[in-house]
Amino acid sequence: MREGKMKICQCGCGQEFITNRNDKKYKNKEHQVRANNDRQYYISKMMRGVTTILKNNFLILRNFLLGKQKQTVSKEFLRGKGFNFNHITEIDNDNGKTAFFVYDFKLSFNNELVTIENCKPWK
């Protein structure tokens, strides 16, 4: 009969357990579920922060345009409204110029000015 190997549970509890399988990571199913829940919580927490910033950026642009198709404004004005230039959803190379997107809004930069264009107007 083969003797089991001593392993440490990978869920973070640090408990030791004996197993005959080389690929077993967790002491039991409960510890596996705990580890998966902890991992998902961490991912969700990080995504929630990014999603909040993107939503705020979207609302700032939508409220600024208010039905207009295109408008130019200074970067400082957007910063003052709380816009975070570090969070965008897409980058595109449009006719040799780089365009940044926050969902449906296209942002084109020209020094300190930003041209905002609504690519999918809301009805």
Question: How confident is the model over 22-73, as pLDDT tens digits?
Answer: 899 999 999 999 999 998 998 888 889 899 999 999 999 999 998 789 999 9
How many domains does the chain divide into?
Answer: 1
pLDDT at 3: 76
- From CA 77, how far away is CA 71, in angstroms rounded? 13
Structural domain includes residue 18: yes
pLDDT of 6 strictly over 70:
yes
Domain ranges, residue 103 = 5-118
* Structure-model confidence comparison of residues 101 and 2, the more confident one: 101
Domain contains 123: no
The SS3 assignment for 113 reads strand
Residue at 17 is within a domain: yes
Does 69 reside within a domain? yes
Does residue 61 belong to any structural domain of this protein? yes
Residue 17 clears pLDDT 50, i.e. is over it: yes
Flag whether 94 is in a domain. yes
Measured between alpha carbons, how far is 71 from 18 in angstroms, rounded to an integer? 67
Residue 7 and residue 79: Cα distance in Å, rounded?
53
Banded model confidence at residue 122, pLDDT cuts 50, 70, 90: low
User: Is 84 part of any domain?
Assistant: yes
Work out the pLDDT band at 1, boundaries 50, 70, 90: very low
Chain segment 81-101, per-residue pLDDT in tens = 999 999 999 998 877 888 999
Q: Are the C-beta atoms of residues 65 and 118 closer than 8 Å to each other?
A: yes
